């Protein structure tokens, strides 16, 4: 078992799992005019639009208990996100799902691109609806979806000497 397992960002074909975010707790909620910011007890910060959704159990998009953040009273939202983060998943399609230790989940659906969502590590943007912006100080490891094993790509070969052509021109077309 890799001793740095918790400090990796795991990349799968369709998603990233921000393992370093696991165990973080939201300690402060800031209700801004157009979004909600959740500050954690680590350098991670989550910012989502009021149209993001929460549900107590189900991950199904049309589950009857899944509602926008603005549906819930603010004190209830703050209570529901106060448990440790267990499952921080960010999809390459632009969606996100953060599961908390008490069973509650925070969602941003890829079917609603107008809903804002960003993840910061300190002042560094790590993820937005466009994808992984910066891994900050964390290594990104690609995993095989079937085996869970790392996919180690071989290093790129060096340029063959016969391709070292210098025509003396700045024109890339030769």
Tens digit of each residue's pLDDT, the chain (174 residues): 333 446 899 998 899 999 999 999 999 999 999 999 999 999 999 999 999 999 998 778 888 899 999 999 999 999 999 999 999 999 999 999 999 999 999 999 999 999 999 999 999 999 999 999 988 889 888 877 777 777 776 555 666 666 666 666 555 555
The C-alpha atoms of residue 102 and residue 18 are separated, in whole angstroms, by 19
Cα–Cα nearest to 35, from 44, 24, 26, 46: 46
Q: Which two tokens stand for residue 87?
A: 């499952």
Q: Where are the alpha helices (DSSP H) in 1-147?
A: 74-80
Q: Which two tokens stand for residue 30?
A: 């800031």
How many residues does this entry show for the chain? 174
Looking at residue 57, its pLDDT comes to 82
Q: Where are the alpha helices (DSSP H) in 36-146?
A: 74-80
Q: Are 65 and 78 in contact (CB under 8 A)?
A: no
Looking at residue 28, its pLDDT comes to 97
Which stretch of DSSP H or E encloses residue 84?
none
Q: What is this structure's pTM?
A: 0.81
Largest CA distance in the chain: 69
The C-alpha atoms of residue 96 and residue 128 are separated, in whole angstroms, by 9
The C-alpha atoms of residue 136 and residue 43 are separated, in whole angstroms, by 11
């Amino acid at each position: 078992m890799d001793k740095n397992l918790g400090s990796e960002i795991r990349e799968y074909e369709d998603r990233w799992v921000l393992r370093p975010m696991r165990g973080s707790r939201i300690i402060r909620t800031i209700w801004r005019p157009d979004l909600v910011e959740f500050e954690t007890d680590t350098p991670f910060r989550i910012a989502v639009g009021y149209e993001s959704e929460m549900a107590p159990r189900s991950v199904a998009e049309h589950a009857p208990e899944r509602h926008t953040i603005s549906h819930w009273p603010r004190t209830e939202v703050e209570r529901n996100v106060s448990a440790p983060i267990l499952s921080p998943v960010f999809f390459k399609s632009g969606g996100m799902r953060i599961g908390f230790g008490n069973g509650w989940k925070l969602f941003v659906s890829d079917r609603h691109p107008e809903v804002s969502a960003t993840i910061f590590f300190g002042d560094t943007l790590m993820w937005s609806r466009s994808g992984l912006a910066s891994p900050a100080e964390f290594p990104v490891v690609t995993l095989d979806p079937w085996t869970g094993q790392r996919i180690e790509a071989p290093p790129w070969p060096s340029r063959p000497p016969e391709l070292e052509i210098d025509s003396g021109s700045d024109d890339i077309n030769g």
